[in-house]
Amino acid sequence: MPAENSKKSNNAVATRWIYDPKVRGILFQVLAVACVAWMLFYFVSNAMHNMESRGIATGFSFLQHRASFGIVQTLISYSEDDTYGRAFVIGLLNTLLVSGIGIILATVLGFLIGIARLSNNWLLSRAAAVYIEIFRNIPLLLQIFFWYFCVLRALPGPRQSIDIANAFFLNVRGLYIPAPIAEPGFGIVAIAFVIAIVGVFFLSQWAKKRKNLTGQPFPVFFSSLGLLVGLPLVVFLIAGMPLHWELPALKGFNFRGGLTVIPELFSMVVALTIFTAASIAEIVRSGIMAVSKGQVEASHALGLKNGLTLRFVVIPQAMRVIIPPLTSQYLNLIKNSSLATAVGYPDLVSVFMGSTLNQTGQAVEIIAMTMAVYLTISIVTSVLMNIYNAKKALVER
């Protein structure tokens, strides 16, 4: 029965076709692309329709319109007459400012506490553990509220400010610190500083080369420090000290002069630092503990003292374990700085997704721009840290 035979083989061909993993793979992918495309089409067409019916403008021309809202803290000049575009830049700079300060302080505090956690002093290591467990397990937003509403609001008014060395003043309106004011001639000092940086770069190259060739160590750190501080200092003195500090002083009802750290920034920095430092401390601890004890013993057996063991054996190996999770903590900190909007610190989210969105109603453009900024920051940070990581990673043969 040839007819039946051919039918059978046809069936077999059909089933073979459906079980072929390659064909299946293509089928799945086509299906996935179709699904995503359909969803995008659905969203976009709905958005177009909805925006049209609600009379919301589209496009990015709103960036050139007058913003007409004030911002408490600006790093570059800004007034209500400036555009939404400039407000966006102000918000971005404020976000970078708070994350930059936060990252530096959290790293320092985190390393200190991580090391304290490993101390052989029982009390110190317990205190570090309690610190970590308390601040890691409380939501960051709550901590920000606590610092802003409980601690800073409870500070005295300007007249009864907490006074540190007659130069730093802390009161309910913020922290007032001396501002450096450059006089003509300060440029030479800056140039000297740049020359010192270049010098340090060549010095470390030379020292590395010499160490590789002869095995002679050269005190790179202290000589670099000397160069970095000494050269500008000498130039500074020769140029006749062209810099003075402007101290904040109480005039009338408030302080004038100096730099003002507004309470919003202050509480954000404190909360971000304390919260992130707890996670960094754990990362540092696990990194140091990941270095096997045998390494330390071997280094002692070679006659290296504790300090040298730490510098040449423990820390370089611990850093390999520390850097990748540290990178994600930095990224978390930058993302968490967006909580500033909750206390009214004018960061990107609060200026752009808050005030600008409320005034223009252009949700799609504004949210897309804000998310694009965070995406870019995340990608740049992780690329930089990956380069650093690749440099430090163990080279296996």
Q: Is 16 in the site for other proteins (CB under 8 A)?
A: no
Task: Provide the minimum distance between the beta carbon of 355 and other proteins in the complex, in angstroms, as a whole number.
Answer: 13
Q: Is 380 in the site for other proteins (CB under 8 A)?
A: no
What mask of x and - would describe binding to other proteins in positions 325 to 364, judged by CB under 8 A?
------x---xx-xx-xx------x---x---x-----xx
> How would you class 18 by CB atoms within 10 Å of its CB: exposed for 0-12, middle for 13-18, buried for 19 or more?
exposed
| Token output for 13 | 């061909």
Q: How many residues form the binding site for other proteins (CB under 8 A)? A: 55
Cα 84 to chain centroid distance, Å, stands at 25
Contact with other proteins (CB under 8 A) among 223, 359, 378, 386: 378
Q: Which of residues 42-61 bind other proteins (CB under 8 A)?
A: 42-43, 46-47, 49-51, 53
Stretch (H or E) spanning 169: strand 168-171
Helix (H, G, I), strand (E, B) or coil at 29: helix
Contacts 24+ apart (CB under 8 A), 304-308: none
8 A C-beta contact, residue 189 and residue 242: yes
Cα distances (Å, whole numbers) of residue 163 to 152, 159, 246, 260, 274:
15, 10, 16, 14, 23
- State which residue, 251 or 335, has the beta carbon closest to other proteins: 335
Q: Report the distance separating Cα 29 and Cα 27, nearest Å.
A: 5
Task: Provide the minimum distance between the beta carbon of 234 and other proteins in the complex, in angstroms, as a whole number.
Answer: 36
Q: Which of residues 23-42 bind other proteins (CB under 8 A)?
A: 25, 28-29, 32-33, 36, 42
Task: Provide the minimum distance between the beta carbon of 115 and other proteins in the complex, in angstroms, as a whole number.
Answer: 12
Q: Report the distance separating Cα 68 and Cα 358, nearest Å.
A: 12
What mask of x and - would describe binding to other proteins in positions 250 to 289, judged by CB under 8 A?
----------------------------------------
> Quick one: three-class SS letters along 70-114?
CCCCCCCCCCCCCEHHHHHHHHHHHHHHHHHHHHHHHHHHHHHHH
Task: Provide the minimum distance between the beta carbon of 379 and other proteins in the complex, in angstroms, as a whole number.
Answer: 7
Q: Which of residues 179-198 bind other proteins (CB under 8 A)?
A: none
| Token output for 317 | 């190996």
What mask of x and - would describe binding to other proteins in positions 117 to 156, judged by CB under 8 A?
--xxxxxx--x-----xx-xxxxxxxx-xx--xx--x---
Contact residues toward other proteins (CB under 8 A) are: 25, 28-29, 32-33, 36, 42-43, 46-47, 49-51, 53, 119-124, 127, 133-134, 136-143, 145-146, 149-150, 153, 331, 335-336, 338-339, 341-342, 349, 353, 357, 363-364, 367, 370-371, 374-375, 378-379
